[in-house]
């Protein structure tokens, strides 16, 4: 399954991506996680991305596109992949389409997690993230359920940055929803409700595109 997950920040993409990647036995490729891992390791890529990330803006396309193309050459993508947080604008969507077409591996589906802004703001401002593995955690969790790691609040989950991220989503990322609708790849589900319930909804919706 070659899949893209799209939705505003706080729609639960990271959480659903973990379950869906395990379900389909495909790697979960989160551009945000790759940037954060580089930031933690103080690599040149991490240092380049830091200012954009801390202020809720997109890292420049040239940097992000090359990083994703490189990741898609890894052997673990032979049977598919789940992209989470990429593409984030129509330029990235076009680059991805061209790259996958060149390699004879076009996308099979784009799953949109739809959710209201007021729920997003509540979720993001109380969200905690694992310092070790990057998994999102519930506000009342004392440690990461995936690895036992310590939790922290992402710099970009602070209230002043959330508004910026939402406006970046509306202006730059929302247009890719139409792009993929036109391509006939878009499947939209509601991302409101229980985590397990949303996963079930996603798998049921995706089962209709699996050939
Ligand atoms: P995320 O974890 O997906 O919310 O991403 C966190 C931050 O990483 C974003 O606010 C951007 O600064 C950067 N980022 C992640 N994915 C992309 C992308 N596809 N294009 C540009 N910047 C990105």
Report residue 29 CA to chain centroid gap: 8
Q: What is the rounded distance in angstroms from the CA atom of residue 172 to the CA atom of residue 168?
A: 6
Mean pLDDT, the chain, as a whole number? 94
Cα of 203 vs centre of ligand 1, distance in Å, is 25
CB 12 near ligand 1, within 6 Å: no
SS3 call for 154: coil
CB 9 near ligand 1, within 6 Å: yes
pTM: 0.89
Is the Cβ–Cβ distance between 173 and 91 less than 8 Å?
no
Is the Cβ–Cβ distance between 22 and 15 less than 8 Å?
no
Is the Cβ–Cβ distance between 14 and 64 less than 8 Å?
no
Domains and CATH numbers, the chain: 2-27+74-115+173-210 (3.40.50.300)
CB 27 near ligand 1, within 6 Å: no
Give a three-class secondary structure readout of 12-30. CHHHHHHHHHHHHCCCEEE
Q: How many residues would you count in the chain?
A: 211
Residues designated catalytic:
13, 88, 127, 154, 165
- Give the pLDDT of residue 208: 84
64-113 confidence digits (pLDDT tens): 999 999 999 999 999 999 999 999 999 999 999 999 999 999 999 999 99
> pLDDT grade, residue 210 (50/70/90)?
low
């Amino acid at each position: 399954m070659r899949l893209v997950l799209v939705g505003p920040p706080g729609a639960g993409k990271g959480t659903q991506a973990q379950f869906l990647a395990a379900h389909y036995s495909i790697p979960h490729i989160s551009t945000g996680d790759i940037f954060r891992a580089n930031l933690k390791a103080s690599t040149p890529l991490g240092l380049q991305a830091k200012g954009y990330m801390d202020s809720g803006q997109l890292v420049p396309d040239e940097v992000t596109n090359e990083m994703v193309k490189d990741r898609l050459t890894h052997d673990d993508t032979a049977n598919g992949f789940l992209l989470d947080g990429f593409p984030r604008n129509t330029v990235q969507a076009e680059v991805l389409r061209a790259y996958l077409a060149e390699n004879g591996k076009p996308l099979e589906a784009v799953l949109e997690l739809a959710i209201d802004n007021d729920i997003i703001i509540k979720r993001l401002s109380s969200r905690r993230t694992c310092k070790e593995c990057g998994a999102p955690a519930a506000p009342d969790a004392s440690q990461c359920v995936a690895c036992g790691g310590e939790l922290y609040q992402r710099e970009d989950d602070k209230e002043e940055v959330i508004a910026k991220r939402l406006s970046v989503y509306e202006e730059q990322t929302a247009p890719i929803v139409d792009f993929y609708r036109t391509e006939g790849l878009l499947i939209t589900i509601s991302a409101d409700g229980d985590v397990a319930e949303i996963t079930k909804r996603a798998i049921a919706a995706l089962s209709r595109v699996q050939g």
